Structure 1
Amino acid sequence: MLPTLRPQHAILAVIGLVVATAPAIVQATGLAQQLLGFRLEVQYLLVQHLRLVGSAAFFSIALGIPIGVWLSRKGMRRHAEVIMQVLNIGTTVPTLAKLAIAMLFFGIGTGSAVIGLTIAILMPIARNTCAGLLAVNPYLLDAARGMGMRDSQILWRVEFPNALNVIVTGVRIAVTYATGTAALAFLIGGGGLGELIFTGIDINEPAMMLAGAITTCLLAVLVDLLLYQIQYWVIPRGVNPYRPLRS
């Protein structure tokens, strides 16, 4: 039976393959110097890109987790799926369309881009929060009530710790998705690495386009790897499937 790679090992293998082969490919095609010529632009736009993603992640987490908690409460469970389908509109509508709609209401600029990205990644956080809380073993809840815990204590001391892995997975999916799609923010004046990609397409400059595209791809992979490492090490072994209990 063939051994299986853990997710972090697979990601590291892909990054290693890219790092190992990219110099030879780039030098063979004569693009090395051209790509390096855009390093200052990449550094400047990378900061803009990270600010966009960070702002969207902050607002989506601040909204998504409370919404998920609210929908997991007993009085709201029958309405949860209907509300989730409404939130799902933000996922099914193409990201570029969401950014365009945000631009219509809030004008051109970074603010519209952040709002559009927040709407785009709100759903996985809210759904995973709700699903994780609903999946907590009911026997644990009964035991907590038997110990005299109030509902708020049960939520913070029992439900949240047991649902944390599912919640963090939703955050990881959302932030990684936002990292890749934030390149579209340039089209509504939001800046970011998309400026290199779309400007390179407009003026038929492949090196400029590749400088933005390669950086965006690597950034998304690195963000996913970083969030996985946080998920792996921060969540306790008892509720972390990536870190099984030692025998």
Structure 2
Amino acid sequence: MNSKAVIAWIVKIAFWVVIIAFFWWTISNNMYAQILENPEQFAGLLGRHLQIVLISSSLALLTAVPAGILLTRPKFKKYEWIFVNTANLGQTIPSIAILALAMGFLGIGIQAAILALYVYSLLPILQNTIAGLKSVDPAAKDAAAGMGMTPTQILFKIELPMAASSMIAGIRTAIVLNIGTTALAYLIGGGGLGVWIFTGIQLFDNTYLISGAVPVTILAITVDQLFRVMQLFLVPKGIRKAQKAAAAT
């Protein structure tokens, strides 16, 4: 075992020691009292949190993936910089500012939160879709065309499978960011687990803060791992091996 592997194992062990110590401290100090004493309220806040994430992420997915595909087609490549820079603008603006702007258009409530998080989710999905499709070997597309495949067949049978790894990574990033940022929806009346997080901050009450923040963190980690597993099923094994070999060189 080389030094890099040893360091990696030490970091992993240290990480799990910190995690176990943290949960031992929070449980022994009854930091999850709000969840245990108010399970119905917790379920309602969690449901609203998931609702905001699901709707905003789905809208971003349905917008950014087709746009990314369209912008890699020869007729529309010249418009790529316009769309990417527009999406980049939404990403560079602080999330609180986006929430405030959305509230100015739609008022206080869940609709404003969904709009803000939709805008905030576009860039990772759009960029990774474009990057994944651009990374497809032109020789593979030429060979498919030489076999008589139509542009549509090349897209679905060659380009999308080879770009799937990058696309899924972008979707995963956007949704994980969304889960964390949705906590700010409380500031514009959107609800979610941010209600307990900000209540804990305002009241200096760790039971509210931990009961809201830890589920958000666990949810983000769970979704991240689910997408990593999904990547194993959606990306062909041969393509995964080729990408690993290319990354190693």
Tell me how far apart the structure 1 counterparts of residues 184 and 241 of structure 2 sit (CA, whole Å): 35
Aligned partner of 1:51 in structure 2 is: 51
Aligned partner of 1:145 in structure 2 is: 145
- The Cα of 1:221 is off from its aligned counterpart by 1.2
Which region of structure 1 is more displaced relative to structure 2, 147-156 or 16-25? 16-25
Tell me how far apart the structure 1 counterparts of residues 218 and 40 of structure 2 sit (CA, whole Å): 17
SS in 2 for 1:65: helix
Aligned partner of 1:210 in structure 2 is: 210
**Which residue identity lines up with residue 120 of structure 1 in the other structure?**
Y
Q: Deviations over 1:207-227 (max 9, x none)?
A: 112211111112111111111
- The Cα of 1:98 is off from its aligned counterpart by 0.8
Tell me how far apart the structure 2 counterparts of residues 48 and 18 of structure 1 sit (CA, whole Å): 30
Instruction: Confirm whether residue 97 of structure 1 aligns to residue 97 of structure 2.
Output: yes
**Which residue identity lines up with residue 240 of structure 1 in the other structure?**
R
Contact 1:35–1:210, Cα closer than 8 Å, also in 2: no
Q: Deviations over 1:168-219 (max 9, x none)?
A: 1100010011011110011111111001011222233221122111111121
Tell me how far apart the structure 1 counterparts of residues 21 and 138 of structure 2 sit (CA, whole Å): 51
Aligned partner of 2:161 in structure 1 is: 161
- The Cα of 1:21 is off from its aligned counterpart by 2.3
Contact 1:11–1:225, Cα closer than 8 Å, also in 2: no
More helix by share: 2
Aligned partner of 2:107 in structure 1 is: 107
SS in 2 for 1:240: helix
**C-alpha distance 234-169 of structure 1, shift in aligned 2 (>3 A):** same
**C-alpha distance 241-36 of structure 1, shift in aligned 2 (>3 A):** farther
Contact 2:47–2:192, Cα closer than 8 Å, also in 1: yes
Aligned partner of 1:81 in structure 2 is: 81
Aligned partner of 2:172 in structure 1 is: 172
Give the TM-score, by structure 2 length.
0.86
Tell me how far apart the structure 1 counterparts of residues 176 and 30 of structure 2 sit (CA, whole Å): 31
**Which residue identity lines up with residue 157 of structure 1 in the other structure?**
K
What does residue range 14-93 of structure 1 map to in structure 2 within 5 Å? 17=17, 20-29=20-29, 31=31, 33=33, 36-93=36-93
Contact 1:38–1:211, Cα closer than 8 Å, also in 2: no
Tell me how far apart the structure 2 counterparts of residues 114 and 176 of structure 1 sit (CA, whole Å): 15
Tell me how far apart the structure 2 counterparts of residues 27 and 129 of structure 1 sit (CA, whole Å): 42
Query: Any unmatched runs of 5+ in structure 1?
Result: none
Contact 1:238–1:244, Cα closer than 8 Å, also in 2: no
- The Cα of 1:79 is off from its aligned counterpart by 3.0
**Which residue identity lines up with residue 123 of structure 1 in the other structure?**
L
**Which residue identity lines up with residue 193 of structure 2 in the other structure?**
L
- The Cα of 1:144 is off from its aligned counterpart by 1.2
Query: Any unmatched runs of 5+ in structure 2?
Result: none
Identity of aligned residues (%): 34
Q: Deviations over 1:89-140 (max 9, x none)?
A: 1100011111111111112111111111010011110111111111110001
Contact 2:95–2:120, Cα closer than 8 Å, also in 1: yes
Please report the RMSD computed on the Cα atoms of aligned residues, expressed in angstroms: 2.7
**C-alpha distance 33-128 of structure 1, shift in aligned 2 (>3 A):** closer
Matched positions, count: 241
